[in-house]
Amino acid sequence: MKIWEPVLIGDLRLENRLIMLATHLGYCGEDGKVTDKLVRFYEERARYRPALIVVGGCYTEHLGKSSPTMIGISRDEHIEGLKLLVDSIHSFSLPVAAQLYHAGRYAHSLVLEQQAVSASAVKCRLTRETPRALSLDEIQETITNFSIAAQRAKKAGFDAVEILGSAGYIINQFLAKATNQRTDEYGGDFESRSRFPLEVVSSVRKAVGPKFPILYRMSGEDFVPDGLTLADNQQLAPRLVEAGVNCLDVTGGWHETRVPQITM
C-alpha cells in the first residue's frame, strides 16, 4: 500500500504520504503574528509524526485576509515568529510547509475595512457581499505578493510552500466561470481563466529557485454551478506541473458547495 511508502516532493523526501493539511485556526494576534498558542498546537500534532505539516493558511497580503487572527506572511515582520514556529516543528525532525493563502471574495469588509476583491464583481453567498474586480495592475500586484510571500517562507526556514488553489478562494475564483466574468486576457475560455494560477505558480517558482518544493492544493471538482469539473482539472494539472509545481494536493468542493463534503 503506497500510503506508507516514502515519496519525493522535488528534493524533499517524506517518510510516508500522510500529511497534516493546513488548518485555519485563528490562533494568531490581529497583526498576523505567531503566538505561543499556535506553536503549542503544532507541537502537539508533531508528536504524532505526520510526514509533513502544512501550516496555514498564511495570507499573502492584507486583501487576502479572511479572519482577524489568521497567520500572516504578508510583511517582513512576520518572518521572526514564523521562524520560531518552524524551528519548533523541526525539533521533532519533521518538515513543514507554508500554505500561501488569498481569500478573494471570501474576505469580509469588516475584516478588511474595505471592499473585498475577486476576479469579477460576483456576490458571495457566504459573506453576502459583492467584491470588486481586480484591475490588470492589481492582478500583477497579487501575483507578486504570492511570490514575495514564498520568499518570506523560505527565509523563515520552511521546507516547502503550498499554493492554495482550491475551495473557492481567489485562484479558484479566477478559474471558475461562476466567479470569473472578465472579458480581458484573464477571463473567457478555460485557457484564459487558467492564466492567473499559472502565472502565480511561475512567479513563485522564480522567487524560490528551481529546487525549492512547491505544492498546489487543487479541486478535483468544484461541485458548484459553473465551477471546475474533473475534466477541467485534468487539463489544468499537467500545466501546473509544467509551470513549476512538484506535488498536487487534490481536494473537492468549495465552502459554498451545497452537498456534504469529504475534504482530503
Check residue 190 and give its pLDDT: 97
DSSP output for 80-145: HHHHHHHHHHHTTT--EEEEEE--GGGS-HHHHSS--EESS----TTT---PEEPPHHHHHHHHHH
Please state at what angle helix 136-155 crosses helix 79-90, rounded to 10 degrees.
50
Residue 1: the pLDDT is 59
Under CATH, which architecture does the 20-251 domain have?
Alpha-Beta Barrel (3.20)
| Active-site annotation holds for 59 | no
Domains of the chain, residue spans? 20-251
Q: What is the pLDDT along the chain (264 residues), one digit of tens a residue?
A: 589 999 999 999 999 999 999 999 999 998 999 999 999 999 999 999 999 999 999 999 999 999 999 999 999 999 999 999 999 999 999 999 999 999 999 999 999 999 999 999 999 999 999 999 999 999 999 999 999 999 999 999 999 999 999 999 999 999 999 999 999 999 999 999 999 999 999 999 999 999 999 999 999 999 999 999 999 999 999 999 999 999 999 999 998 887 656 544
| Active-site residue identified among 42, 169, 186, 216 | 169
Round to the nearest angstrom and report the end-to-end CA distance of the chain.
Answer: 18
216 and 163 Cβ atoms separated by less than 8 Å:
yes
CB atoms within 10 A of CB 160: 26
pLDDT at 9: 97
